[in-house]
Structure formats: structure tokens, C-alpha cells
Structure 1
Amino acid sequence: MKNVVAYLRVSTGKQERSGLGLEAQRDYITTAAKQNGWNIVAEFVEAVSGTVNPADRPECSDALGACKEHDAYLVVAKLDRLSRDVEHVAGLMKRVEVKVATMPNADNFALHLFAALAQQEREFIVQRTKDALDALKQRADDGCDESVAKINRRTQALEKGQGVATGREGKATKAAMAKAVTFNASVKPHVEACLYNKCTTLQAVADCLNTKGIRTSRGSIWNPTAVRRLMLALDLPFPKSE
């Protein structure tokens, strides 16, 4: 039975506190150990960005030390738990034999190929994200032409008195509605940017808008209720999980 040292990594402290991702990684490693006759002699858990060189991570360094002490493999659930940087992975493989729970029979050559593909995909994702955020920022800077067009159509409808009272009260109502439509349209690109940045709850969107310095039409900070009303008014749903 071959000794192995398990290394688990999450990207944020919040994920570490919630256990999100760690349990799945542990299950992968435990299952692979049973199937391949590995004896897990130690486990190391770390909350750190995958961009940091594994050699510079405290827990990973301790895991490498444990591998040397126990003459063990280093085991991770998936290769990206080590790194998506092919140089980082290659450097680590010079120091210890690496096993990946989701592909336990892969040799160093195969792992190098997977690391190269993962790095390329990461670069594609970074570029796609940058392009999309630049486009959203441009829409925000331009005042979102599409939303402005909607404002004009709604304002024209208001001016014709469609669906509102007449007289002084009607004018006040039309003015308030036009102001609300204008404000919502100005905020829409920022909400879209928050959603694109994987804000998946009302509170997350509120925090995102507050961080940007955006305030409600009344000058207050955003809360989940205000965000819900805004998203309903703009007909903006949360993106579906992949």
C-alpha cells in the first residue's frame, strides 16, 4: 500500500469557512485512495489563489515535507487544485510524484499536457472576461443607448397621458415615473456588470453596487429589497448556473 499526502485548496477564506468545495475534494481523494490502494497519511488544507506558486504556499510546502518524510505521493482532487500554470506544475513534479484523484493513472507526461491545456483555458477566460467587462463599461459610459431608447419611448407614452391621471396630479405622476425610468436605465449597466461578475444573490448585487459607489434614487445604500425591485423593473434575471 502506497502512502499519499492529500492537499486540498480553495480560493477564498469564505469558501474555507463554509466548506464549499473542500468536502467534494476530500471525497474525490478518499474514493481514489480506496480504489488504488493508497494510504492517506496526512492532509493539508489551504485557502489561497491558484495563481500563487505552490512552492510559496505554506500548507503546500508542509505537504511536500510530509511527502518526503513518509515517502509518499502528493494527491490532489483535480490538477487545478495545484495550479493552472504549467511551469508551476512542472516545478512541483520535479520535487515529488503527483497523483490526481480524478485521473489516478495519469503519468507525468499526461499531467503536463493537462496543465498546458488548463493554462490555455485560463488565458482564454481572462481575455473573454476582460472583453466582456470592457463592453459593459463602455455601455455604462455611453449611458446605455438601448436603455435611453426605452426611456424615450416610455416618456413619449407618459406625455400622451397613457395610463396616468390628468391635471396637476397627472403631471407629477408622469414626472416621477420618467425620473424612475431614467434612473433605472442609468444603473442597469452596473447591475449587468455585477451579474457578469458572478453575483448570484440579491445581497451580493447590493454589495457590488455599494462598492462601486452607486446609490439608490434616494441616495441610500443598496439592500436586497431595493435590488429585487430594481431587477424586476429592468427585467434582469440572475444567470443560470452552469
Structure 2
Amino acid sequence: MNKQKVIAYVRVSTGKQEASGLGIEAQHDYIKKACESNNWEVVATFQEAVSGAMLPTDRPQMAQAINLASTLNIPIVAAKIDRFSRDVEHMAALMKRVSLKVATMPTADNFQLHLFAALAEQERQFISQRTKDALKALQERADNGCVESMAKVKRRSDNASVARKAKADKALLVDNPQKVTAPKVNTSTKHHIDIAPHVKACMFEGASTLKAVADCLNSKGKLTSRGGLWSPTTVARLMGSIGVAFTKG
């Protein structure tokens, strides 16, 4: 049986993920296994580190993948649907140009992938709104004199200040490399800042034990700072670091 030729596309969102190789290696592995199971043959691979919010045709490597796929009339395969895009409109525009395959759902066609993309975007919007509501409630409790809430708000503010300074220093380093020494960044702290909203979202979705939070984070594809899966122990350390605790019944 002749193999179906496909083009592989691998994307990570940050230079940090690119340097670690963890996200990239996992995506290559997903694609490799899907090819073995579905009789696909990768004829070209395009890989880049860009934000998923960017229009697919504006990404250099994706643009090349689209052109080649259109020329050869073959699909582009990615490890997961969000590697193509996190925006349902972007996905719809992309599907008008090429056929897409997703390694984790290899039998899904473009129409089904469009539905999955719409549901994923809706879920992200719900999570975002719940997080905003939770933070608003936290601020209200702090304003009403709750000591614990005030401490949490202060930690969030301090962490945000650290993140803003790191971002500003990085921009200054790019513009004036001869004048700035690259700061030493606590990657663990930065990771905690990034993961905190997802922990809170899991808790608001009903996760009330360390194991439940770990399972929730793993199901969302969120990794530990070392690129591994979450366990009750690592969740406990994280929650202690970001000042989050379960509400006592």
C-alpha cells in the first residue's frame, strides 16, 4: 500500500521552549507515531518558535509549509490542533488553503477539526473569564480587609513587577546589547507566574485535592518547570509558592 505523503509542522510559542527541546521533541514523537499508525510519510518538516496568536500565513515556516502543501496537494500534520492556531478564525482561513491532519486525532477531517477548534477557543474564553472573576473576588476580599487576600494580592503584584522588569530588560538588551548585561532570571518563578492562572482555573472547575489539580493541569497539557507531568507533590510545592490553598469546608 502506498503511503500518504504529508508535511510535518512543529511549533513552540517561546524561545525558552525551543531551547529546552521538550516541546519540540514531544511534537515530533506524536507525529512519528501517527505516521506509523496511519501509513503516512513525512516528505518535509517545518519548525519554528512563534506565538500561536500570529496569523498562520505570517509565520515564515508555516507559510513555506502551506506553499509546499498546496503545490504537492498533500496535508500538513501537526501534533495537536493548537500547534496550527488557537484562533478559530485563523483555523478556518487555513483550512480553505490546505488540508490539515492532527496526530492526536488522525481520522478527523477539516470540518471536524474546525469544530474542535471552536470548542477549544470557547473553553479558553470560559477559563479566562472564570480567572478574571476569581481575581476580582480576591481583590474585593482584600479591599474588605481580609489579611490572607491582601497577602495574595501583594504576591501577585510583586511577581507581575518582576515579570515586567525581566521583559523590559530583555527588550533593552536586544536594542543595546553592548550596554546591558543579560539578567539572571529565576525560571522557576517565571514558570509559577505562567502556571498560576491555570491552577486557579482548575480549582474553580472543581479540583479540590492535590491529585485532582495535578490531573487537571496534565489534561490541559501544562508541564512542570522541568518539562514533566504534575504529581500531588509538585502541585503542593507550586501552590505553596504562589500562595494558593484549598478552601476549608
Query: How much identity, in percent, do the aligned residues show?
Result: 52
Per-residue deviation at 1:99? 0.5
- Map Cα deviations across residues 52-104 of structure 1 (whole Å, 9 max, x no partner): 12122111111111212333210011111111222111111111110111111
Q: Determine the structure 2 residue equivalent to 1:18.
A: 20
The aligned runs of 1:129-140 (5 Å cut-off) are 129-138=131-140
> Any gaps of 5 or more consecutive residues in structure 1?
148-184, 209-234
Q: Determine the structure 2 residue equivalent to 1:220.
A: none
Match of 2:73 among 55, 58, 71: 71
Q: CA RMSD in A?
A: 3.2
- Does the CA-based 8 Å contact 2:9-2:62 persist in structure 1? yes
Instruction: Pick closer, same or farther for the CA change 1:127–1:193 going to 2, 3 Å.
Output: farther
TM-score normalised according to structure 1 size: 0.61
**1: distance between equivalents of 2:102 and 2:57?**
18
- Map Cα deviations across residues 203-240 of structure 1 (whole Å, 9 max, x no partner): 516997xxxxxxxxxxxxxxxxxxxxxxxxxx935679
Instruction: Pick closer, same or farther for the CA change 1:118–1:186 going to 2, 3 Å.
Output: closer
Question: Once superposed, which parts of structure 1, at least 4 consecutive aligned residues long, lie more than 6 Å away?
Answer: 193-196, 205-208
Larger CA deviation: 121-130 vs 91-100: 121-130
Instruction: Pick closer, same or farther for the CA change 1:144–1:205 going to 2, 3 Å.
Output: farther
Indicate whether 1:45 and 2:47 are aligned: yes
How many residues are aligned here?
173
Q: Determine the structure 2 residue equivalent to 1:191.
A: 155
Instruction: Pick closer, same or farther for the CA change 1:22–1:205 going to 2, 3 Å.
Output: closer
1:87 maps to a residue whose letter is E
2:147 maps to a residue whose letter is E
Per-residue deviation at 1:126? 1.8
Q: Determine the structure 2 residue equivalent to 1:236.
A: 240
- Does the CA-based 8 Å contact 1:3-1:71 persist in structure 2? no
**1: distance between equivalents of 2:240 and 2:187?**
12
- Does the CA-based 8 Å contact 1:136-1:193 persist in structure 2? no
- Does the CA-based 8 Å contact 1:32-1:104 persist in structure 2? yes
**2: distance between equivalents of 1:63 and 1:190?**
46
Match of 1:90 among 81, 92, 102: 92
> Any gaps of 5 or more consecutive residues in structure 2?
164-185, 194-238
3-state SS in 2 of match to 1:102: coil
**1: distance between equivalents of 2:151 and 2:147?**
13
1:132 maps to a residue whose letter is A
- Does the CA-based 8 Å contact 2:10-2:78 persist in structure 1? yes
State which structure, 1 or 2, has the greater radius of gyration over its C-alpha atoms.
1
Match of 1:106 among 99, 105, 108: 108
1:190 maps to a residue whose letter is K
